[in-house]
Amino acid sequence: MSHATCSLCVSVLDHCHGTLIAHADGSAECTDWACADTDRLRHPFRADCSDVAGGCECAQDLVRPGMARRPLAG
């Protein structure tokens, strides 16, 4: 998305264009290399680490046979 057409940029609201990846241990990281603030409110795009291609080691502990996976990103 172009910054010129981003409604949050036009509104001058603090936000990030990256995707926030939520980990099982409660930590988070952003796909935007320049992002220094991983606050959920700044990230309209969020995903669980288990949804990332190849998955994430920390999510393996959450998924057990017969149990539903609990979303982390909210």
In this predicted model, what pLDDT tens digit does every residue of 26-51 receive, in sequence order? 999 999 999 999 999 999 999 999 88
- Domain assignment present for residue 73? The answer is no
Q: What is the pLDDT of residue 56?
A: 83
Q: How many domains are contained in the chain?
A: 1
- Domain assignment present for residue 70? The answer is no
Q: What is the pLDDT of residue 64?
A: 55
Which residue range is the domain that position 30 belongs to?
7-60
| Backbone torsions φ then ψ of 68, nearest 5 degrees | -75, 145
Q: What is the residue-averaged pLDDT of the chain?
A: 82
User: How far is Cα of residue 38 from the mean position of the Cα atoms in its chain?
Assistant: 9
In the predicted structure, residue 2 carries a pLDDT above the cut 60:
no
Length of the chain: 74
Contact 25, 58 (CB under 8 A): yes
In the predicted structure, residue 5 carries a pLDDT above the cut 90:
no
- Domain assignment present for residue 1? The answer is no
Q: Helices in the chain by DSSP H: which ranges? A: 7-10, 57-60
Whole-model pTM?
A: 0.71
